[in-house]
Amino acid sequence: MPELPEVETTRRGIAPHLEGQRVSRVIVRERRLRWPIPEDLDVRLSGQKIVLVERRAKYLLINAEVGTLISHLGMSGNLRLVEAGSLAAKHEHVDIELESGLALRYTDPRRFGAMLWTHDALNHELLIKLGPEPLTDLFDGDRLFQLSRKRSMAVKPFIMDNAVVVGVGNIYATEALFAAGIDPRREAKSISRARYLKLAIEIKRILAAAIERGGTTLRDFIGGDGQPGYFQQELFVYGRAYEQCKVCGSELREVKLGQRSSVFCPRCQS
């Protein structure tokens, strides 16, 4: 599943080509996504100028003069730029054609993503209860410490809770916990303030590094410019179960936490 760095990579790739451009038409070939694409999306968006392309958590917000298109990439989706009118393949469900001659094409083999229309994006039901962005000053170790005091759940699903902080998905939670030396199985309330301060720093560092490297290439993810990400080359633990730890040489272990696989080093993480 594309995580925050992959979505931000997509935003950076498409924004320069969308902002300031007017939509000529919208072609919807398949409306049956996680939620149905609005029947009147073409009427609402065509003729409008795209003002700004933003990201909130893993949602892309394509702000037009009147209204916002909320897009989520789901499990396997991507948005990329193509020539308007170019032949679409089987899973290429939506084209937003621009007067520039380009089109923003949405591809989603599993159809678990979303394209929704709203006039009040930040108060939309999908966004209103989200926690702070991890790369802002609203998120830090003190917030993690305070919110964790009565939480007996394991620390890994705790930091993946979008009400605590958005965008810390499975890949980057796994890597941040390794970098901070914290066992992902530990109860959230058992971890000290000092260790949460370290964890928050590592979350910020790892997410920022992943964004700069274009995200992590997993299965079929590509950015808005059609290029893969390269952060996978720097993963220490994610996807490396039973291999040797790059730091101490111990065999990495794998457990299930919150129905997600979690790899950790029994020596480096306590």
| pLDDT at res. 233 | 58
Taking domain 141-264, whether its CATH number is 2.60.40.740 is answered by no
> Which uninterrupted H or E stretch holds 8?
helix 4-18
Query: Residue 215 has what pLDDT?
Result: 57
- Mean pLDDT over each residue of the chain, to the nearest integer: 92
Pick the residue with more confidence: 97 or 222? Answer: 97
Which among 168, 174, 125, 175 has a CA at the least distance from the CA of 144?
168
> How many other CB atoms are found less than 10 A from the CB of residue 270?
10
pLDDT at 116: 97
Average pLDDT over residues 208-223: 63
Domain boundaries of the chain, sorted by first residue: 4-123, 141-264
Paired sense of beta strands 68-72 and 114-118, if any:
antiparallel
Q: What would the pLDDT profile of 163-192 be if each residue is shown by its tens digit?
A: 999 999 999 999 999 999 999 999 999 999
Binding-site members for DNA are 91, 110, 151
Give the model's confidence band at 213: pLDDT under 50 very low, under 70 low, under 90 confident, else very high.
confident
**Tens digit of each residue's pLDDT (9 = 90 or more) over 28-81:** 999 999 999 999 999 999 999 999 999 999 999 999 999 999 999 998 899 999
Measured CA distances, 193 to 134, 159, 200, 211, 266 (Å): 17, 14, 10, 27, 22
pTM attached to this predicted model: 0.88
4-123 CATH choice from 3.20.20.70, 3.20.190.10, 3.40.50.1860, 2.30.30.90 = 3.20.190.10
Find the helix or strand (DSSP H, E) in which 45 lies. Answer: helix 41-45
Catalytically active residues, by annotation: 2-3, 58, 260
Q: What tokens were used for 173?
A: 């939670």
Q: Are 190 and 157 in contact (CB under 8 A)?
A: no
In the chain, what percentage of residues exceed pLDDT 90?
87
Residue 220 has pLDDT above 70, yes or no: no
**pLDDT band, residue 232 (cuts 50/70/90):** low
